Amino acid sequence: MPKPKSKAAYMISSVAEQYEIHPQTLRLYEREGLLKPSRSEGNTRLYTGDDLERLEVILHLTRDLGVNLAGVEIILNMREKMRDMQSQIQEFVATLNRELAAHAAPEPPTARNTLIPVINARPPAPNPPASSRRTR
């Protein structure tokens, strides 16, 4: 049951009705630390879109996959750690790419490598002596 994201906050009764669960179940999830709804000034629980997404994951794990609440807690913690690790990996790759780009940049030409000297592999043939030259 994906729900559209919004900045609205929902009271416990409307969330319980929307997801067909008892309000005590939501309170249990909060006691177990699985959900952390914000509170109004009157101390009423207010569930945001992020809370509802998390609730959907919890319900999928418990209803569809048969995971108990201890398992749900472990899975949710692992998902959070994986998200953190993914962002660290992305930061590392970006830093690595910047470093590689900085080191792979071509060197500007210098006076030392602008001209390449030409070396004769064989010495030129010696000139014959002037006396042995024929004249006509």
% of the chain residues with pLDDT over 90: 66
Q: pLDDT at residue 136 above 70?
A: no
DSSP string, 61-102: IIIIS---HHHHHHHHHHHHHHHHHHHHHHHHHHHHHHHHHH
Give me the pLDDT at residue 7, please.
74
Residue ranges and CATH numbers for the domains of the chain are 10-104 (1.10.1660.10)
Query: Is pLDDT above 60 for 8?
Result: yes
Query: What pLDDT does residue 69 have?
Result: 97
Q: Is the pLDDT of residue 128 over 90?
A: no
CB 15 within 8 A of CB 5: no
Kindly report, residue by residue over 63-115, the tens digit of the pLDDT: 999 999 999 999 999 999 999 999 999 999 999 999 998 887 666 656 555 56
List the end-to-end C-alpha distance of the chain, in Å, as a whole number: 112
Average pLDDT of the chain to the nearest whole number: 86
**pLDDT beyond 90 at 25:** yes
Whole-Å CA distances, 77 to 65, 85, 106, 127, 132: 17, 12, 46, 90, 100
Q: What angle do CA 55, 56, 59 make, to 5 degrees?
A: 85
**Per-residue pLDDT tens over the stretch 44-54:** 999 999 999 99
pTM for the model stands at 0.67
